[in-house]
A = this chain, B = another copy of it.
Amino acid sequence: MRETAVSLMGERGFDAVSVDDIAASAGISRRTFFNYFPDKESVLFDPDPDDPALWSRLIDARPAGEPLWISLRELILEYTSVVFERIHRHKGVLKASPELRSCSREIADRFWDAVRDWAGDDFRVEVQVNAARAVLNTTCPRWDAATGLEGLHTLIREGFDLLQSSHPERTFS
């Protein structure tokens, strides 16, 4: 189903493929498509139902007293490892259909909302959280998929090193 849609849209582009096309090509009815996916975009950008659990696991793994900036870096390094396949796929989708950037961001919003919930709503904390997101936003599009996960992680570390919080002593429980 997803494969069908990805291949169709890879050829013609997102807008040029209708839901009817996908449904017909996948051998199901148009109505059934909407039973599986809430909208056309979701066939490409799917929130994995057990993502929240994954986030909790990764977040809980952060040792108490670790500086926030380090926690954020490690969180992202581990998260990108786990969802590496998806990053790869989304990168391909966005290359073929850049207009879907907002879908990609909305998916990411959920993750970052979870991080913010954990980190607390202090202004300085939120700046760092959003800066961490900025690092990821910079690295993912620039990352050469051929360099694999290692290449991505190198870029991410570089980005984090570049933006030193001027309050590195700030930690939180």
Residues of A whose CB lies within 8 Å of any CB of B are 101-102, 105-106, 109, 123-124, 126-128, 130-131, 133-135, 137-138, 142, 155, 158-159, 161-167
Q: Are B142 and A126 within 8 A (Cβ)?
A: yes
Oligomer: number of copies: 2
Closest 5 pairs between A and B when the two form their complex, measured CB to CB: A130-B134, A102-B102, A134-B134, A164-B166, A131-B134
Other A-B pairs, 15, CB within 8 Å; known A162-B167, A164-B164, A164-B165: A102-B105, A102-B106, A123-B138, A123-B142, A123-B158, A127-B138, A127-B163, A128-B163, A130-B137, A131-B131, A131-B163, A133-B134, A161-B166, A162-B165, A164-B166
Q: Within the assembled complex, what's the spacing in Å between the Cα atoms of A138 and B134?
A: 11
Q: Are B127 and A135 within 8 A (Cβ)?
A: yes
Instruction: Summarize A's interface: helix, strand, loop or mixed.
Output: helix
Q: Which of B105, B158, B163 contacts A163 (CB 8 A)?
A: B163
A33 to chain B, nearest CB (A): 22
Closest to A99 in B: B106
Q: Within the assembled complex, what's the spacing in Å between the Cα atoms of A164 and B164?
A: 6
